[in-house]
Chain A
Amino acid sequence: MSKKPLHIKTPVRYLINALLFAALLFGGRVLIAGGGVSPFYVGIVTLAGINIILAVSLNMATGYLGQLPLGHAGFMAVGAYASAIFMTRSGLDPAVAMPFGLLIGGLVAAIFGVLIGIPALRLKGDYIAIITLGFGEIIRIVLLNIDEVLGFPFTYGAASLKGIPETSTFFNTFLLVGVTCFAIHTLMKSRHGRAILSIRENEIAADSCGVNLTYYKVMGFTVSAFFAGIAGSLYAGYLGILNPSNFSFMKSIEILVFVVLGGMGSMIGSVLSATVLTILPELLRQFAEWRMIVYALLLILVMVFKPSGLMGRFDFSMGRMLENIINVLTGRKTLKGKGGKTNG
């Protein structure tokens, strides 16, 4: 046992991840362009991508920051409408307007995140849940009622905002899935991320270490809202039509279910459960009325047998897995020592 276990350096890890991700992205694109996958499945997979962004962004506030906001659909709605109104009014070519639309969706949602975050995060636990729940509903009702502003059509309310360019292709959506995961991952690995985790662990201790509680809570909440806004923008470009009823309280709960089922504080958990829970109801369509029962049973079973969620707080690392495989294959390490350190 003179050989030291192999350790892959961080830039190399990032490079491996980036290459794999690019392969997946372009592979998927080629496959779809070749007509190998029916548009129905492409649609479901794209929706799964949007749900992944929603779950990963809510996981930021719930899993890492340790708060329980119930108004995630509200931020999503703000982002969706902001971007949709821009896309339908800008007069730009959709392909050109799309990045701006996404950015506008994210930024407007982030502004709402700050506005709601400052009063809401002064409260604790259950109270945050209630105040954000109220906020989500207010957003929905307001969107429903500002169908016209000074005689100019605005959100069209219950009549639905139609004709949004359908720019959320598989490629665009999953590119943003990658951007979201990478941004939140690197944030959480930084000094700021450590400060956010310390708040979840113990507010008083974090305070006595010199962590500015309000600042980091609002920051975590705003980042979460920003990516919810991005997901909302993608959702608008996916459906091509927006109605305030898309963003009801049940939507917030659905996103929360993704996070809780996957394991609060685990990014890979959020990704997997958002994927499974989006695809599963579609696959179960043939069972018609039984499908929601299966869905509900799955949730109950996971919560009974694995209350911390499927992944607990485990975070997957491609680099670490490769290290383990190589170390085992080259005999530098036995299988016993496998399994990684959990990240928050």
Chain B
Amino acid sequence: MLEVNNINVYYGPIHAIKGVSFTVNEGEIVSLIGANGAGKSTILKTVSGLLRTKTGGITFMGEDISSAKAHKLVHKGLAQVPEGRRIFLRMSVRENLEMGAYTQHEVTHANLDDVYARFPILKERSRQVAGTLSGGEQQMLAMGRAMMSHPKLLMLDEPSMGLAPILVEQVFDIIRVFHDMGTTILLVEQNASMALAHADRAYVLETGRVTLSGTGAELASSEEIKKAYLGG
């Protein structure tokens, strides 16, 4: 579904991503893990059109998207939950969700009811201003909003960031639910143990390169990973 082929990305003179390739097949949960500065978010930003590759190609559903603008990709079925819960703080919860369906031209109530069914708390607070939600609720809102566009592929950038462990569990449960609904998922995470436990396949990044890849279970049991990321 998504194919990233030997991409190189630069921040000015800094060579941030050095020839990274990976694929996401339809129906999978694929996870990119790595330490700070490994290039996880850079890759996600590149796929979503916020950054440009210098060389290499990105194709989504067989179409080259390496020079597509960010807002166009949403129309193609590629949604993103940006890092740090970027919600519209001064809009109501419902308005936030409606913005998620922006590409659909009209908000289908079935769509909204669907999200409310997954996140009862959002229904309860639908008229509340989003900025007054707790961190966990804001993350739910950001994810609910992304689902409003009925994406084929959902990209999540560190959804567990800054959340209490119990909320991290919840976030991953929701990712599962989305997956069961038929959404393919690309997940960027620092929380390697959670990410590996839920991913079908995963890629390990180190300073801009893919150093390891395999199924979630394989990587979780690999000595190298245990030492480097899982604290064991």
Contacts and interface: CB of A to CB of B under 8 A. Distances in A.
Nearest to B149: A210
Contact of B70 (A198, A207, A341): A207
A209 B74 contact: yes
B88 A213 contact: no
Nearest to A202: B86
A211 B72 CA distance: 8
Interface stretch (B51-59, B94-102, B175-183, B205-213): B94-102
B82 interface: yes
Interface string B9-24: 0000000000000000
Contacts of B99: 194, 198, 205-206, 209, 211
A198 B88 contact: yes
Q: Is the interface of A mostly helix, strand, loop or mixed?
A: helix
A194 B98 contact: yes
Interface string B34-56: 00000000000000101000000
Interface string A184-228: 000000010011011001101111111111000000000000000
B226 interface: no
Contacts of A209: 74, 99-100, 102-103, 145, 149
B86 to A, nearest CB: 4
A208 B91 contact: no
A191 B105 contact: yes
Interface residues of A, number: 20
Given A195-B102, A209-B100, A209-B102, A201 B71 contact: no
A210 B103 contact: yes
A198 B88 CA distance: 7
Nearest to A216: B71
Nearest to A210: B74
Contacts of A211: 71, 99, 102
Contacts of B81: 208
Given A194-B98, A194-B102, A195-B102, A208 B79 contact: yes
A205 B86 contact: yes
B42 to A, nearest CB: 15
Interface in B149-187: 149
A307 to B, nearest CB: 15
A207 B51 CA distance: 13
Nearest to B45: A204
B107 to A, nearest CB: 10
B118 interface: no
Contacts of A344: 90-91
Contacts of B90: 201, 313, 344
A208 B80 contact: yes
Contacts of B103: 209-210
Interface string A166-177: 000000000000
The residue among B99, B103, B145 with the most chain A CB atoms within 10 A of its own CB is B99
B87 interface: yes
B217 interface: no
Interface string B89-127: 111100100111011010000000000000000000001
Nearest to A208: B80
A207 B100 CA distance: 11
Interface in A286-334: 313
Nearest to B49: A207
A202 B88 CA distance: 6
Contact of B75 (A195, A201, A210): A210
A17 B106 CA distance: 27
A201 B91 contact: yes
A209 B102 CA distance: 7
Given A191-B102, A194-B99, A194-B102, A207 B71 contact: yes
Nearest to A212: B71
Closest 3 CB pairs of A and B: A210-B74, A205-B86, A201-B88
Given A201-B88, A344-B91, 9 more contacts: A204-B50, A207-B71, A208-B74, A209-B103, A209-B149, A210-B73, A211-B99, A212-B69, A344-B90
28 contacts: A191-B102, A194-B95, A194-B102, A197-B88, A201-B89, A201-B90, A202-B88, A202-B89, A204-B50, A204-B86, A205-B88, A205-B99, A206-B88, A208-B70, A208-B80, A208-B146, A209-B149, A210-B71, A210-B73, A210-B149, A211-B99, A211-B102, A213-B71, A313-B90, A341-B92, A341-B127, A344-B90, A344-B91
